[in-house]
Amino acid sequence: MSRNPGRWRGGTTPDRSASHQEGGAGLAPNTGNTDYGIDHLMLGASDLSLGKTWIENQFELPAMDGGRHPGQGTRNALLGLAEDCYLEVIAPDPAQVLAGTLGAQLLRYKTPRLRTFAVRCSSFEDLVPRLAGFGFGHRILEMSRETVGGGELSWRLLFVSDHPYGARMPFFIDWGQSPHPCRDLAVAGSLRQITVQLPDQLASFERLMRQLDLPVVVRQAPPALLATVAGKQGLIDL
């Protein structure tokens, strides 16, 4: 697997012809008009300090405090990976009302664990019709937060709807004109692989990942999301 987490570099060329057999029929593989890549891995924790300690124990580097997400009930801390990728620890924000937010869901996490992953793209114009070709819907959310240094980051998120894959389906992020968070982060390692385990309905998910040239391995197994990072200590499984 290539060190670049944004492109498929498997030993054989994926069978693109399958996209004309089921979901996604008639949609060509990404031709480069929109740049897709793994943006970050989201590690959920019931408490930010707990999540930061877990990360530091794994990578021997501290995660840097990021900021709060108003209305989402969360705050985060970040640790860099190679190739403009990073790890995000996301946890409830005690300064916000948590009822009905992601923060309330994270309170149920007994131990930190990989929750989902984000795919960076330069716009949503190419993505939306691709999702519709699979019968998937979407919703777009405008987000922003203050940085620890007093600046502001703003971005757009696209969440895929009307699918059976739960949090194993990535969400998509467009940073627009904001600087990418990676520029201020220590690099702890490089993402080697993301593995999505599904009990059934693998074909459409795998086809979408291949259309976007993402290094995601899909296999039939009980539902799970796994990632392997190469750090200075060796391979680390999340």
Question: pLDDT 10s per residue in the chain (238 long)?
Answer: 333 343 333 322 333 333 333 455 445 555 456 789 999 999 999 999 999 999 999 999 999 998 888 888 999 999 999 999 999 999 999 999 999 999 999 999 999 999 999 999 988 999 999 999 999 999 999 887 776 666 778 899 999 999 999 999 999 999 888 888 888 899 999 999 999 999 999 999 999 999 999 999 999 999 999 999 999 889 999 9
Query: What is the distance between the alpha carbons of residues 216 and 170, in angstroms, rounded to a whole number?
Result: 11
Per-residue confidence (pLDDT) for residue 13, from 0 to 100: 30
Query: What is the distance between the alpha carbons of residues 146 and 142, in angstroms, rounded to a whole number?
Result: 14
Q: Are 194 and 187 in contact (CB under 8 A)?
A: no
User: Where do the DSSP E strands lie in the chain?
Assistant: 36-44, 64-69, 74-81, 85-92, 113-121, 137-146, 152-161, 171-174, 189-198, 216-220, 224-231, 234-237
Domains and CATH numbers, the chain: 32-187 (3.10.180.10)
Report in angstroms the alpha-carbon separations of 56 from 44, 47, 228, 236: 15, 15, 16, 12
DSSP 141-190: EEEEEE-TTS-EEEEEEEEEES-S-GGGSPEEEE-TTSPPGGGGS-B-EE
Q: Rounded to two decimals, what is the model's pTM?
A: 0.83
Query: What is the distance between the alpha carbons of residues 74 and 105, in angstroms, rounded to a whole number?
Result: 10
Query: What is the distance between the alpha carbons of residues 127 and 234, in angstroms, rounded to a whole number?
Result: 35
Per-residue confidence (pLDDT) for residue 15, from 0 to 100: 36
Bridge partner residues of 174 (DSSP): 156
Reading the block at residue 120, the tokens are 């960076």
